[in-house]
Amino acid sequence: MSSSGKRKGEEVRASDNDDESETHAPPKKVAKPADETEDIFICNLDKNRRVFVRNCNGRIWIAIRQFFVKDGITLPCNSKHGISLSLEQWNDLRNHEEDIDKALSDLSEV
C-alpha cells in the first residue's frame, strides 16, 4: 500500500484522469436569472431607513430596510439590517394597532 493510502490501481486511474482533465475544459457556469423583484418606494422613516412594498416571485412583502451613503451614493446595508413582513404578517400587525398604541401610551406615562 502506498503512503497516501490508495491502491496502486487507483493511482494509475487517477493519473489517466489527469490527462483527460487537461484536454477537456470544465463546463461553464450559467448565470442564474435574478429574482423577479419589483420594489415600490413608500417613504423614508429617517435618514437611513426606507419602507418598500416588494413583489418578489409573486409574493408581496412590506420591507423596512436600512441604507448608508458612501461616496454620495445610497446603498443598502446587508440583509440583517431590516425586516420584511409577508402580507399576512402585515395585516396581523395592523390588527394589533390599538394594542400597540395603548402599550406605547402606557410606557410613555411611566
Q: What residue numbers bound the domain in which 68 lies?
A: 37-109
Write out the three cell numbers for 104.
406605547
Count: domains in the chain: 1
Query: Which CATH number does the domain housing residue 54 bear?
Result: 2.30.31.10
Residue 8 lies in a domain: no
Residue 26 lies in a domain: no
Residue 62 lies in a domain: yes
Q: Is the pLDDT of residue 103 over 70?
A: yes
pLDDT of residue 64: 93
* pLDDT (tens digit per residue) in 56-90: 889 999 999 998 888 988 777 877 789 999 999 99
pLDDT of residue 95: 98
Average pLDDT, the chain: 80
Name which residue leads in pLDDT, 5 or 65: 65
Predicted TM-score (pTM) of the model is 0.58
Write out the three cell numbers for 93.
400587525
pLDDT of residue 69: 84
How far apart are alpha carbons 11 and 28 in whole angstroms?
28
Burial annotation 10-24 (CB, 10 A radius, 16+ → b, else e) = eeeeeeeeeeeeeee
Residue 48 lies in a domain: yes
Residue 22 lies in a domain: no
Residue 75 lies in a domain: yes
Please report, for residues 85, 87, 97, the alpha-carbon distance to residue 90 in angstroms, rounded to integers and kept in the order given. 6, 5, 11
Q: Is the pLDDT of residue 42 over 60?
A: yes
pLDDT of residue 3: 59
Residue 83 lies in a domain: yes
Q: Could you tell me which of 17, 13, 81, 2 has the C-alpha nearest to residue 49?
A: 81
pLDDT of residue 12: 54
Residue 85 lies in a domain: yes
